[in-house]
Each structure stands twice: as structure tokens, then as C-alpha cells.
Structure 1
Amino acid sequence: MTKRRSRGDGGLHWDEQRQRWIASVTVGYSPAGKRIVRKASGKTKTEAHNKLRQKIREYEDGLLIAHSGYTVADAVTDWLTYGLSGKSTGTIDNYTNLAEGHIIPRSAPGSFAT
């Protein structure tokens, strides 16, 4: 019987067209809700799995994260603009006043890494 992989360990499959083993794992989700998938390939299962583990390690260490210049103030402004659909006018006014009066002025000038 084959050994079952543990959760978060990804998957391995044979790609007949490329004649390679493909290892893939979901490392997270984008702001749009799409899965962020890291893939690696190799001639053997072990090679593909080891390459994938290296990519996961790099991702967790932050080596694959790009600096985008997206600040906390930008995120709050976007949330106020696009994230409050379906809320009442009073709620939107309350959130806007709190954000513009407290969060945006006190946010650090640094940016998020995406």
C-alpha cells in the first residue's frame, strides 16, 4: 500500500508529455482568492519533491516576496472604496471617519510586501 502524504506536503504526479515528475503545493491565497501554487519538476520523484521542499523553504523565508510599495494607507483606502459594498451608509461613514481620523494618519510610511 502506498504511503499517504501529510497535509501541506503537496502532491506528486507524472507528466507524460514532459516525461517528468511534477510536485506542487498550495502556499497561500492571493487577495483575489486565487491559490498561490509552487511547482517543481524532476526526473525522479525524490528530485521533484526535494526541489519543491526547497521552493517552500524559500517562500517561507520570504525570498520570493517582492516589494511592491503598497502601504497601509493604500490598503485602508482601497478597503474603504471597494470592501464595504452591502454595508449601510451609517456604517460606511463611521468606518471612513475612524480610518481617516486614526488609522491613516498613524500608519507607518513603510509598505507591505506582497
Structure 2
Amino acid sequence: MPSSTASGRWFDGRSAAPHDVTLRLGDRLEITGPGVHRDWNLDDLRAREAQAPLLRLGIAGDPGQVEVVDATFAAILAIRCPDLRKRADTAGGTWRLVVGSLAA
């Protein structure tokens, strides 16, 4: 499967300092830069809130996130990751609604 690359900024979730990184999209999303190496499963990727053209990505359980402004890369990523815009708490929200209705 061909890979696509883009430049981005990594935020580790502990400080506000950005780190310049390279994103490589192959079978997984690899994020590399000075002192940064992440290898994320595409099924786990979720887009976090951001204004276009900025795409902010993360995965559950990792406070870090990466930002990229590359329309071509974002389009390829959206095709490869159909759940990219799926909210992580969708099922839990539905469950809370059902339980709340039963309690009333």
C-alpha cells in the first residue's frame, strides 16, 4: 500500500511546546521527529476538535496529539480511516440515555 507523508506539529499533552514532526501514512500512522516517535493504529485514530484547514489527531489513552495542515494528506487519511470523525464516547452516551430513561 503506498504511503503518504506530511509535516506537522506534535504536542505531548504535558507542555504547550510544539515539536516539528513528519507524519507517514502507511499501514499505520507513524509520527517522528526529534525526541518523538509514535506508531498509531489507523482504527484507533480520532480527529479532535479543530477549525479547518487544521486537522488535529489523537488516540484514546494518549494525551499527545498531532496537528497537520495538508488537505491532500487529510483527504487520504479520511479515506483510510472511516471512523476518523467518530466520537469516542458515542456508545457510552447512548447507554447513559437509555439508563437515564429507565430510571425516570
**Band of TM-score, shorter chain:** under 0.3
- What is the TM-score with the length of structure 2 in the denominator? 0.23
Larger radius of gyration: 1
> 1 or 2, which has the higher strand percentage?
2
Q: Which has the higher contact order (CA 8 A, sep 6+)?
A: 2
> 1 or 2, which has the higher helix percentage?
1
